[in-house]
Amino acid sequence: MEIENRTQWHPAFCTSMELELMENEKALLYDREHNLGSEPLQIDLLIIRKEPHETIKNEIGAIFLGHNIVEFKSPDDGMNIDTFYKVLAYACLYKADTGAVDEVLDTDITVTLIREQKPIKLLSQLSEKYHVTTSGNGIYYIEDMLFPMQIVVTKELDSSAHVWLKALTRSMDIKQADELLDRYESLKDNEKYYAKAETVVNLASDVNTKIFEEIVLGGGIMSDALKEMLLPELGELKRQLAESNMELAENRAELAENRAELAENRAELAENRAELAENKAELARKDAIIAELKRVLTEVGQSMDKEEQ
């Protein structure tokens, strides 16, 4: 189940993190599904801080050091105490398997776990052993650990400051969807991040179909391209409509041609009828002349007969 969900959620998560931290693009390097040694283990996202003295503007990155291990759990996955220690073990393996001895210092590694719902039981268990503090809405620091660690609860994050991570949900509302689309459209002049944002918007629309259908069909101002991206069936309907309109235009043209041909036939028929009428009139005139000639001949014959008598 986890593998299936990762196929759906993981690329959008990695992209969301890049969008969240885009203001520090030049200072960060991203390595998706970083392999841990020769074992079939992968870190969801490894973020390398290339510029150690540059301040990370996004509050999620406030904890970041040189090497930052990020684990994401989709809305379909749980986050428990075993998850916590597994990711901690990833950090230990990463530190121990990066080349020369102490090439990566343990003081230069952080661990971040991200999930939509708050892992209440996990935080309660951690509070019994470690010092758990909050840093802004939705960010929980686990202090006194081997590495600086934080748990990020996306549902509790500020909506306007964390549009991209909060989009990774199955329970998006109209306001949140509108804000996501506005932020997406604001990146249209930035080809690189516009393409990344499209990945997140596509996922959000796929798992929140009714909300995005309501937006698309609600008559709001939205480009045709965006409408088709959010509701692909609209594009298919438009294509079918265009084909139907083309077929209708062809049928109308054919009908016009048939009507023109019919009009020509009618005109020709009228001409034929007129010619026939003229022929009948001419025939009648000739019949009249013949009848007159017959009458004259008859009278002449009678006159000749009288003279002979």
Block mean pLDDT (10 aa), the chain, length 309: 52 85 85 67 88 89 94 92 93 85 89 96 95 91 94 94 93 90 88 88 86 73 56 54 70 83 85 85 83 78 69
Does any domain span residue 238? no
For residue 70, give its domain range.
2-169
Please state, in angstroms and rounded to a whole number, the distance separating the CA atoms of residues 43 and 76: 19
Indicate if 102 and 206 belong to the same structural domain: no
What one-letter code names the amino acid at 243?
Answer: E
Final residue of a structural domain among 169, 201, 217: 169
CA dist 141 → 35, 134, 135, 144, 225 (Å): 26, 6, 7, 10, 42
pLDDT at 117: 95
Indicate if 44 and 115 belong to the same structural domain: yes
* Number of domains observed in the structure of the chain: 2
Final residue of a structural domain among 211, 230, 249: 230
pLDDT at 218: 67
Indicate if 125 and 72 belong to the same structural domain: yes
Indicate if 147 and 199 belong to the same structural domain: no
Indicate if 80 and 176 belong to the same structural domain: no
